[in-house]
Amino acid sequence: MQYSKSTDYALHALIHLAHSTPRHNVGIKELAASLGVSESYLSKIMSKLRQDGIVRAVPGVNGGYELARAAEHISFLEVIQVMEGRQQLFECSNANSRQHELFGDEAHAEPELQRGSGCLVEKVMDGAQRHLHDYLQKHTIQTVLDEMTERMK
């Protein structure tokens, strides 16, 4: 699994906004230059983040973008889901296959291993996805800022 460049730029743009002077919005030109990406590409990314309520667009000559809420309330998971979508990472192609049945007397098998209980591979993959989601939910834009501060000491 690999996240898109859009997700990479979105996370870095949010860190840049969070690190900027409080109550100072950042123009798309400055933001694009700091990330080394075109203004038009970054505008599309920022539009998605704005539509989902992560950033706020400030109109006017000195307009730009600012975080719509505190950095500690913007999780990596939320940003990834905005940019990548909220789909399952794995879908079993053999959910109804007899391949998942255990040999022997099924009547004595654990309920979750009995026929019709779903794909055993998918259960493992769903568990991995839950762990990943938990990890990404715990890490916020503020987490990265705190790490930056710690490294600068």
The whole-number pLDDT of residue 122 equals 87
- Gap between the Cα atoms of 35 and 12, Å rounded: 7
Domains present along the chain, CATH in parentheses: 5-152 (1.10.10.10)
Six-digit token string for 24: 């100072």
Burial 58-84 (b: 16+ CB within 10 A, else e): eeeeeebbbbbeebeebbbbbbbbbbe
pTM of the entire predicted model: 0.81
Reference 33, options 21, 44, 41; nearest CA is 41
Give me the tens of pLDDT residue by residue for the chain, a chain 153 residues long.
Answer: 789 999 999 999 999 999 987 778 999 999 999 999 999 999 999 999 999 999 999 998 888 999 999 999 999 999 999 999 988 788 888 766 555 554 444 444 455 544 445 688 888 999 999 999 999 999 999 999 999 988 888
Report strand pairing: 64-67 vs 55-58. Answer: antiparallel
- Gap between the Cα atoms of 136 and 31, Å rounded: 24
The whole-number pLDDT of residue 23 equals 73
Residue type, 10: A
